[in-house]
């Protein structure tokens, strides 16, 4: 089949947008390990989880056999406000790199939250509303998830309470202000509002917070407030399910032009973007219908896949959450203060962890200054200023495209451009002013965190 002339941007028609999310786990032979109750070390039941999460989200969380979940019409209508997102052919980047590789990126940044996080935020808000809840609580680090959830809650008239990692709260007043525009309340974490926050503040008076700690606060607030549940923007199976809309659109767009990717690349923090982007492709791979190289890109300063341990661990610092089996650095691990972007979670989605352990995907880690160099290069060549997170995927893509130049292979590379960097200019400024370094944890450090992992067979 010959390729049709590919436009710079492929937009699907509304009618071509996915009507169901794809649940990758249904096609996995080795299912991801279940969440465990930290008290009993038994798998969490739906009943236990429903104190924390909305009932329908619990169903999605636990179901590893149903391949497709219909996307409710209200959510599809919301999606139409900012989706389908474009699949961009990076002609300018290819030319500049002088590579025979063909590069595409799925751009999820063209919405006010500035990233793909909105895809799951609107779904989680929808089910909360449907269940008759008053509101939801969550944590946010870089601020993208909090912004997305604020928008989603505003749409459905839900109260939204965000615990924002304190250093981000202070460094990113504008992110906070966007959330406020959407009516959310934003509290710097750790705070005096929760037991776990007070405990952490007492033990570490000067702490600027961490994602794991903000999660603990948000969960405590949800379970102790009438009519509230907790929602999370990554890591969970339900989030990967909702984010499959990214991969489904990508696949439909490529299929329209008879394009078959060789390599699929995504940045990976908790795994929400990568899991969503690769979902239908990994599905084909699992079913033996096609083969792809799939590459997770993580920061060298927070290398859960490339240097972590595959074991049960707490999802949060306060150890109030269930245990998940995942590649982890240990729930106390906090990346160097010099680390500027997101992707700072200590663990990785159980689903992706299992796929990685089964050798179905690869992982690489990249250094921070290399990431910002790639980000600036991309901004100048392709005209989009990327989020630091997304720039991890850009860096790995450029590396692969340069290899193609050297070997003369015209591979097709698809990567996820998860968001824009408009609220990350402090980090760009650091980069411009040579104030950024590449601190990488030592083996000894990682060992000391790994030694504290709970012992569970």
Contact predicate 103/94, CB 8 Å: yes
Instruction: Tell the residue number behind the tokens 């190289």, with chain if given.
Output: 293
Sequence-ordered alpha helix ranges (H) in 157-194: 166-171, 173-181
At closest approach, how far in Å is the CB of 93 from a second copy?
Answer: 11
Q: How far is Cα 217 from Cα 35, in angstroms, rounded to an integer?
A: 20
Sheet order of strands, 9-10 included: 9-10, 87-89, 102-107, 412-417, 263-267, 293-299, 362-366
| Rounded least distance, CB 251 to a second copy, Å | 19
CB 158 within 8 A of CB 129: yes
State how far the Cα of 306 lies from the Cα of 290, in Å rounded to an integer.
Answer: 25
Judged by CB, which is closer to a second copy: 380, or 403?
380
Smaller CB distance to a second copy: residue 178 or 196?
Answer: 178
Q: Are the C-beta atoms of 251 and 278 separated by less than 8 Å?
A: no
Query: In terms of CB distance, is 13 or 443 closer to a second copy?
Result: 13
Please say which residue, 153 or 196, places its beta carbon nearer to a second copy: 153
Least CB distance to a second copy at residue 180 (A):
6
Residues that bind a second copy (CB under 8 A): 7-9, 11, 13-14, 78, 80-82, 92, 110-112, 114, 151, 154-155, 173-174, 177-178, 180-183, 376, 379-380, 382-385, 420, 422-423, 425-426, 428-429, 432
Question: C-beta of 60: minimal distance to a second copy in Å?
Answer: 24
Of residues 30 and 112, the one with the C-beta less far from a second copy: 112
Q: Are 240 and 279 in contact (CB under 8 A)?
A: yes
Query: How far apart are alpha carbons 292 and 111 in whole angstroms?
Result: 29
Nearer to a second copy, 25 or 392 (CB): 392
Tell the smallest beta-carbon distance from residue 106 to a second copy (Å). 15
Tokens of 42: 């038994």
The CB-of-383 to a second copy minimum distance in angstroms stands at 5
Dihedral sign, Cα of residue 396, residue 397, residue 401, residue 407: positive
């Amino acid at each position: 089949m010959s390729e049709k002339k590919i436009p710079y941007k492929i937009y699907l028609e509304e009618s071509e947008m996915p009507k169901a999310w794809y649940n990758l786990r249904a096609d996995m032979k080795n299912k991801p390990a279940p969440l465990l109750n930290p008290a009993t070390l038994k798998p969490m039941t739906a009943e236990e989880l429903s104190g924390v999460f909305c009932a329908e989200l619990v169903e999605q969380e636990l179901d590893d056999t149903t391949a497709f979940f219909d996307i409710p019409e209200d959510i599809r209508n919301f999606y139409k406000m900012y989706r389908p997102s474009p699949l961009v052919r990076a002609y300018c980047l290819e030319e500049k790199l002088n590579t025979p590789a063909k590069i595409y990126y799925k751009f999820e940044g063209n919405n006010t939250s500035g990233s793909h996080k909105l895809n799951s935020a609107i779904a989680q808000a929808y089910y909360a509303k449907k269940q008759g809840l008053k509101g939801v609580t969550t944590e946010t680090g870089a601020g993208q998830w909090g912004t997305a959830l604020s928008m989603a809650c505003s749409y459905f008239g839900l109260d939204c309470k965000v615990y924002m990692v304190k250093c981000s709260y202070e460094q990113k007043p504008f992110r906070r202000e966007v959330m406020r525009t959407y009516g959310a309340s934003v509290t710097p974490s750790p705070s005096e509002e929760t037991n776990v926050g007070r405990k952490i503040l007492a033990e570490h008076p000067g702490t600027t917070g961490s994602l794991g700690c903000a999660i603990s606060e948000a969960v405590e607030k949800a379970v102790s407030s009438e009519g509230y549940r907790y929602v999370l923007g990554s890591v969970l199976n339900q989030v990967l399910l909702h984010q499959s809309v990214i991969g489904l659109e990508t696949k439909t767009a490529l299929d329209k032009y008879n394009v078959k990717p060789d390599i699929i690349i995504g940045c990976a923090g908790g795994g929400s973007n990568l899991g969503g982007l690769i979902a239908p492709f990994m599905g084909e791979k699992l079913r033996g219908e096609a083969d792809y190289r799939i590459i997770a890109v993580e920061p060298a300063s927070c290398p859960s896949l490339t240097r972590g341990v595959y074991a049960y661990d707490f999802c949060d610092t306060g150890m109030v959450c269930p245990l998940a089996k995942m590649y982890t650095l240990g729930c106390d691990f906090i990346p160097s203060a010099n680390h500027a972007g997101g992707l700072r979670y200590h663990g990785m989605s159980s689903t992706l962890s299992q796929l990685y352990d089964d050798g179905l995907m690869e992982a690489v880690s990249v250094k921070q200054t290399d990431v910002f160099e790639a980000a600036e290069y991309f901004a100048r060549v392709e005209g989009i200023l990327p989020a630091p997170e997304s720039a991890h995927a850009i860096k790995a893509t450029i590396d692969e495209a340069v290899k193609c130049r050297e070997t003369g292979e015209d591979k097709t590379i698809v990567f996820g451009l998860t968001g824009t960097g408009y609220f990350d200019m402090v980090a760009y400024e650091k980069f411009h002013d040579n104030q950024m370094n590449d601190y990488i944890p030592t083996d000894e450090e990682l060992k000391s965190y790994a030694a504290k992992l709970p012992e569970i067979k």
